[in-house]
Amino acid sequence: MISVSEALDLIKANTSKLASVKIPLKDSYGYFLAKEVLAPISLPSFRQSAMDGYAFRSGEFSELEVIGECKAGDVLEFELHENQAVRIFTGARVPDQADTVVIQEHVSANGGKISIQTMPEKSANVRAIGEQVQAGESVLQAGTKINESIIGFLAGFGMGEVFVIDKPRITLIVTGNELQEVGTTLKPGSIYESNAIMLESALKSRGFDSIQVLKVEDDLEETKKIIASGLKSDVLLISGGISVGDYDFVKESLEYNGVKEIFYKINQKPGKPLWFGKRGSTLVFALPGNPASSLTCFLIYALSALKIMSGSSDYNLDFQSGILSHRTVNKFEKTVFFLGTETNGNIHIYPKQASSMLISYALGNALVMIPHDKEILEEGETVQYLPINRN
């Protein structure tokens, strides 16, 4: 067996980000930029009025004749004298011969003339060309995660497409004769299948949408075939069948399909029988079948690899420090992941902890890591935890 840190290091060493692809900007939310973005145009690309009001030539005149109107989208030009003004609206192009906009609240209008009651400073309420960004300026670095504001920002340049790091195509295989679809009448000796819907939800909530879900009963030849199909993806996740029982065929089927084992079994609880391997550029995580074990291994190990492949620099686990609210014992001589609740930095660990139980996962918001060499933790001691269930 290897340690948690050794397993994470091996995953990192064997994982690379995917190739860059060009995709429509409207579909780019959650992707990471593959290239630095240079501004193709200045923003704004013309002098804009920042307010509704009147554009004029700054000078000594406060009584002005209104000779026309500019609204957003107009490209009109005016021969503008010092005693003249143009009615203008927010976002409209300021005429070349105007240098200032007085807001409409600061004038009194009488027929075709206005009287400025509060004289603005020269250049007031005029957005200069490139006030936000100059053409050619570096505006976003490679590796930046695209959000809604970035999409809007890039759309302002007229960009309809963007280069991003591709997201992995994922196949999720669930094994087991005892598994039964939800929504059906439960048969004696069967259990409802929960890992597929749980892991698929975990993937989708983190922006991984290219998911194929396959199911296979405990049959060696069928397991070989379905794993061969799943290896066409960038990442293959397998739930169950990786232990050493008479009907656990995953490890043998992976070997048959030429997947190189990188490690098998970690000195932790739950999730000891995690298997990690690789064939070509395809990564394979064979997760334990017990639901809590499966989810723990996904959150700690598989998710880090998916982030690296997607171009994220934020792939290290975001452990935080909390204060234990009660005495806790680790009698396993393993690194233990306990489920609990964090409130204002205080950690309460739930009493029900088992690889088959999801109730503590469902209620908790903290995955607490207890080191393998720490047997007793007293109330008030500092522990490390991973925030969960906080989206």
Question: Of 310, 335, 361, at which residue does a domain stop?
Answer: 310
pLDDT > 80? residue 247:
no
Question: Which pLDDT score is estimated for 234?
Answer: 98
Assess whether pLDDT exceeds 70 at residue 35.
yes
pLDDT single digits (tens) 336-384: 999 999 999 999 999 888 888 889 999 999 999 999 999 999 999 999 9
* pLDDT over 70 percentage in the chain: 98
> Domain range spanning residue 28?
20-43+131-165
What are the pLDDT digits (tens) for 265-284?
Answer: 999 999 999 999 999 999 99
The pLDDT of residue 176 is 81
Selected residue with higher pLDDT from 217 and 90: 90
Query: Which CATH number characterizes residue 206's domain?
Result: 3.40.980.10
Mean pLDDT of 282-303: 95
Query: Does residue 199 surpass a pLDDT of 90?
Result: yes
Claim to verify: residue 14 and residue 55 sit in the same structural domain: no
Residue 99 maps to a domain: yes
Q: Please state, as a whole number, how many other Cβ atoms lie within 10 Å of the Cβ of residue 128.
A: 13
Question: Residue 374: which CATH number?
Answer: 2.40.340.10
Mean pLDDT of 103-119: 95
- 2 falls in which pLDDT band (50, 70, 90)? very high
Question: Domain boundary residue among 257, 286, 310?
Answer: 310
Residue 297 lies in a domain: yes
CA-wise closest residue to 57 among 78, 73, 72 = 78
Q: Do 178 and 300 have their domain in common?
A: yes
Q: Do 103 and 93 reside in the same domain of the chain?
A: yes
- Position 91 in a domain: yes
* Model confidence band, residue 391 (pLDDT cutoffs 50, 70, 90): low
Q: Is the same domain home to 160 and 24?
A: yes
**pLDDT at residue number 385:** 97
178 and 80, same domain (yes or no): no
Phi/psi of residue 271, each to 5°?
100, 20
CATH of the domain at 26: 3.90.105.10
Q: Are residues 260 and 282 in the same domain?
A: yes
pLDDT, residue 88, reads 98
Q: 107, exposed or middle or buried, with CB in 10 Å at 0-12, 13-18, 19+?
A: buried
pLDDT of residue 191: 77
Better-scored residue on pLDDT, 243 or 277? 277
Average pLDDT of span 288-293: 92
**Residues 259 and 202 occupy one common structural domain:** yes
User: At which of 165, 181, 216 does a domain end?
Assistant: 165
Residues 177, 202 within the same domain: yes
- 352 and 291 share one domain: no
- What's the mean per-residue pLDDT of the chain? 94
Residues 179 and 283 in one domain: yes
pLDDT at 187: 80
Mean pLDDT of 192-213: 93
**Residue 217 burial (CB < 10 Å; 0-12/13-18/19+)?**
middle
Q: How far apart are CA 27 and CA 14, in angstroms?
A: 29
How confident is the model over 135-156, as a mean pLDDT? 97
% residues pLDDT > 90 (the chain)? 86
Asked, for residue 228, whether it belongs to a domain, the answer is: yes
Residue 153 within any structural domain of the chain: yes
Which pLDDT score, from 0 to 100, does residue 56 have? 98
DSSP state string for 211-277: EEEEEE-S-HHHHHHHHHHHTTSSEEEEES--SSSTT--HHHHHHHTTPEEEEE-BSEES-TT-EEE
Q: How many domains does the chain have?
A: 4
What pLDDT is stored for residue 201 in this prediction? 95
Shared domain for 208 and 136, answered yes or no, is no
Residues 274 and 173 in one domain: yes
Rounded mean pLDDT of 82-94? 97
312 touches 370 (CB < 8 A): no
For residue 179, pLDDT over 80 is answered with no
